[in-house]
């Protein structure tokens, strides 16, 4: 990696990301398990670097890390920059981590400069739902908003509860259960998250940074099933069949037709059947399939669109059930709310980008982020995307440090101008 053209903060960010990659490699990618050794190492690394920059570190009951650069007036609400450090199994190095190191890079760029208010880099826990079937438990706990029942959620690899893993790492799940916040929402002037883009818009536009307009909400069924009846493939006539494969196919086609209609009307959504499976001890090349399991993930920034898709889903369960002689069970469901970014902060980022002669188009986020927790708590929130090829949640994330450096420059301008042009 060449440091040519990078700011001091960009050089720091690149070095930290390289250290993370080397320490948490898990071929073919990297793995930082929530409340596990990789996340623990990453938090310790960020704490050590922040303290070198003069920041004060503290940890809340859930293990979220707050790295504070003191301002002149501690009575003023703080500017908070944050993201997470856990990853999916064998994922990429930049998802989450790029936003944390960007916050530390801004601190590094501010060396020797006084600021009116505190700047806090917040490093959250357990953002990736692959470990616990929850939406943003770390940032929810930071604001004292985590549902106590969430502490009983089981981690996918260990089968042990979130509370157990918090306690094992030296934290206090009982305080989390009581709703003790790590930070008072009224003490936050703004929350800003930088993150790699997980889609292709910035790559297609040929620009390094985008300003996020909103974060999609969604719902997910993680253990849905279609039940029919097993039968001999040659002996069972069509009129007598209860074929779960054809029932599932009709469900997919019906939801795709709804998706087509939404797009014709100008709405954005995603509908994903991420896992489809049948029982290898029962299925076979000469059997009508009697049972099929699947997951369904639906996302949109518009709550009305989510409601419409869910209504259509349940209507299709009935329609297809009657047509094919099958039944559907939706199973466990969890949801997360759409989040809109602060229009005032979007405008402020637009002005900063123009001053820096930096093209920064507006882009939506189809994926969820900790920023949604803060926006949902009525905290003024902004978000930046950094160009990244090959998507995320895979080993092939391809963010360039030069692009992250542009996001750092934009964040720095946002922070330094914060008290100059309050709306």
Asked if 86 and 46 count as a contact pair (C-beta separation under 8 A), the reply is: no
Cα distance between residue 221 and residue 329, in whole Å: 10
* pLDDT 10s digits, 11-62: 999 999 999 999 999 999 999 999 999 999 999 999 999 999 999 999 999 9
Q: What is the DSSP letter of 172?
A: -
Tell me the average pLDDT of the chain: 96
Cα distance between residue 362 and residue 102, in whole Å: 20
Which tokens in the block code for residue 26? 């898990």
Name the CA dihedral angle for 195, 200, 204, 208, rounded to a multiple of 10 degrees: 10
What pLDDT sits at residue 2? 60
What pLDDT sits at residue 420? 84
Distances (CA, A) of 78 to 31, 341, 415: 32, 18, 10
Query: pLDDT-based confidence at 227, cuts 50/70/90?
Result: very high
Q: Which of 328, 313, 324 is nearest to 255 (CA)?
A: 313
- Over residues 166-194, the mean pLDDT reads 98
4: pLDDT strictly greater than 90: no
Name all domains of the chain by residue range, CATH numbers in brackets.
Answer: 8-216+338-416 (3.40.630.10), 218-336 (3.30.70.360)
What's the gap between Cα 55 and its chain centre?
A: 26
* pLDDT 10s digits, 193-224: 999 999 999 999 999 999 999 999 999 999 99
Query: pLDDT-based confidence at 1, cuts 50/70/90?
Result: low
Could you tell me which residues come within 8 angstroms of residue 8 by beta carbon, excluding any fewer than 6 positions away?
A: 108, 109, 111
Cα distance between residue 307 and residue 300, in whole Å: 10
- Over residues 319-328, the mean pLDDT reads 98
What pLDDT sits at residue 303? 92
* pLDDT 10s digits, 79-118: 999 999 999 999 999 999 999 999 999 999 999 898 999 9
What pLDDT sits at residue 334? 86
Longest CA span, the chain: 82
What pLDDT sits at residue 336? 87
* pLDDT 10s digits, 153-164: 999 999 999 999
Cα distance between residue 152 and residue 150, in whole Å: 5
Strands 188-196, 287-288: pairing kind? unpaired
* pLDDT 10s digits, 68-77: 999 999 999 9
In percent, the amount of the chain with pLDDT more than 90 equals 93
Cα distance between residue 190 and residue 262, in whole Å: 34
What does the angle CA 382 – CA 384 – CA 390 come to, to the nearest 5 degrees?
145
Cα distance between residue 371 and residue 340, in whole Å: 10
423: pLDDT strictly greater than 90: no
What pLDDT sits at residue 3? 74
- Over residues 250-259, the mean pLDDT reads 98
Which one is predicted more confidently, 371 or 4? Answer: 371
Cα distance between residue 415 and residue 247, in whole Å: 54
Q: Which of 292, 301, 232 is nearest to 266 (CA)?
A: 301
pTM (global) more than 0.95: no
DSSP bridge partners of 154: 161
């Amino acid at each position: 990696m060449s440091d040519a053209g990078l700011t001091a903060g960009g050089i720091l960010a690149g070095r930290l990301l390289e250290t993370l990659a080397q320490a948490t490699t898990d071929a073919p990618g990297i793995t930082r398990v929530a409340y596990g050794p990789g996340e623990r190492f990453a938090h310790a690394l960020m704490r050590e670097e922040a303290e070198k920059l003069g920041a004060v570190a503290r940890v809340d009951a859930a293990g979220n890390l707050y790295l504070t650069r003191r301002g002149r007036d501690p009575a003023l609400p703080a500017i908070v920059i944050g993201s997470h450090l856990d990853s999916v199994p064998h994922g990429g190095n930049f998802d989450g981590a790029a936003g944390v190191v960007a916050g530390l890079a801004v601190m590094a760029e501010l060396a020797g400069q006084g600021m009116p208010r505190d700047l806090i880099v917040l490093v959250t826990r357990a953002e990736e739902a692959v470990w616990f079937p929850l939406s943003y438990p770390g940032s929810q706990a930071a604001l004292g908003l985590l549902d106590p029942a969430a502490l009983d959620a089981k981690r996918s690899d260990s089968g042990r509860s979130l509370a157990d893993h918090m306690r094992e790492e030296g934290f206090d799940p009982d305080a989390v259960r009581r709703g003790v916040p790590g930070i008072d929402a009224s003490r936050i002037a703004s929350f800003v998250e930088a993150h790699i883009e997980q889609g292709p818009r910035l790559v297609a536009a040929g620009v390094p940074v985008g300003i996020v307009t909103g974060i999609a909400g969604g719902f997910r069924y993680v253990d849905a099933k279609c039940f029919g009846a097993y039968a001999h493939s040659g002996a069972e006539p069509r009129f007598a069949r209860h074929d779960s494969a054809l029932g599932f196919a009709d469900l997919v086609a019906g939801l795709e037709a709804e998706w087509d209609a939404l797009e014709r009307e100008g709405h954005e959504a995603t509908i994903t059947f991420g896992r489809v499976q049948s029982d290898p001890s029962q299925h076979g090349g000469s059997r009508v399939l009697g049972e099929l399991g699947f997951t369904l993930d639906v996302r949109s920034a518009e709550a009305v669109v989510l409601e419409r898709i869910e209504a259509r889903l349940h209507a299709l369960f009935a329609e297809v059930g009657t047509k094919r002689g099958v039944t559907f069970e939706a199973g466990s469901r969890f949801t997360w709310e759409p989040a809109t970014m602060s229009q005032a902060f979007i405008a402020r980022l637009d002005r900063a980008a123009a001053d820096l002669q930096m093209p920064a188009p507006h882009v939506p986020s189809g994926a969820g982020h900790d920023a949604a927790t803060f926006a949902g708590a009525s905290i003024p929130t902004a978000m930046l995307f950094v160009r990244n090829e090959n998507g995320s949640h895979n080993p092939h994330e391809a963010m360039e440090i030069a692009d992250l450096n542009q996001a750092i420059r934009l964040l720095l301008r946002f922070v330094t101008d914060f008290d100059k042009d309050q709306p």
